[in-house]
Amino acid sequence: MLILCLPLGLSAEIYIYRDRDGTPMFTDRRDMGPDYTFVGRYGRPTASHACRGVTRAAMDRRALDHLLTIRHYARHHGVDEEMIRAIIMVESCFDRHAVSRVGAQGLMQLMPGTARELGVSNAFDPTENIRGGVTYFARMLERFDHDVTLALAAYNAGPGAVERHGGVPPFAETRQYITRVMEQYRYLRPETGMSLSPPAR
C-alpha cells in the first residue's frame, strides 16, 4: 500500500485493516476482531488531533490554500461555499492528512467506501477530497429537500439513519456536529442569522 510508504508523522497511531471484501479500514483500535486482517499502522493524525490547539487564525490561514477549489465545486453544485468551509472546519480543521477513529479521511472526512462511490481515488488529495465531499453534501441536500439540518445529519450519520429516525437521529455526536457546523457557518456568514431547524424533527 502506498500509504505505508509515506513518512511516519507525529500523533496517535492509526491501525490499518482490510475487511473481507478488501476495503481498507483506518482506526485507532489495536484489534478489529476476526472479520478484519491487520495490514499495518501509520502515524497520520486523527481528525481530533488535527484540531488540537489550532487557533482560529491558523485555521483561516490553512483555509486560504483551498478557497478557490471550494468555490469552484460549491458553485458547480449550487451549494453555499461558506457551508462547505464550515463543514471542513469541523471535520478536519483544514488538515488534509486527518484520519478519524473510524477511518474517514482528508479535509471533508470521506469514508473509503463513499470515496470510491464518488470516484475519489486519493482522499488525501485536497482537490479530489473537496470535489467528493461537496458532491456528497449536495446529494444529501437534494435527498432531504434542501433541509440543511437534515443534510448535515446525513453527512455525519448517514442518510439511512436520518430516514430511519424520521429526522435528526438521537445521537449526541450527530446533534453536536450540526451545532458545531452551524456555529462555524454563522462565524463565516454572520449576516445570515441562520438557525437550526428543530432537532426533534
In our burial notation (b when 16+ CB lie closer than 10 A, e otherwise), range 120-149 reads beebbebbbbbbbbbbbbbbbbeebeebbb
Which residues are within 8 A (CB) of 161 and not within 5 positions of it... i.e. 6 or more apart? 153, 154, 169, 171, 174
List 81, 91, 173, 183, catalytic entry? 91
Strand partners, 42: 14
Which residues are within 8 A (CB) of 58 and not within 5 positions of it... i.e. 6 or more apart? none
- Answer yes or no: 91 catalytic: yes
Length of the chain: 201
Residue 106 cell numbers, joined? 482528508
- Catalytic positions, please? 91
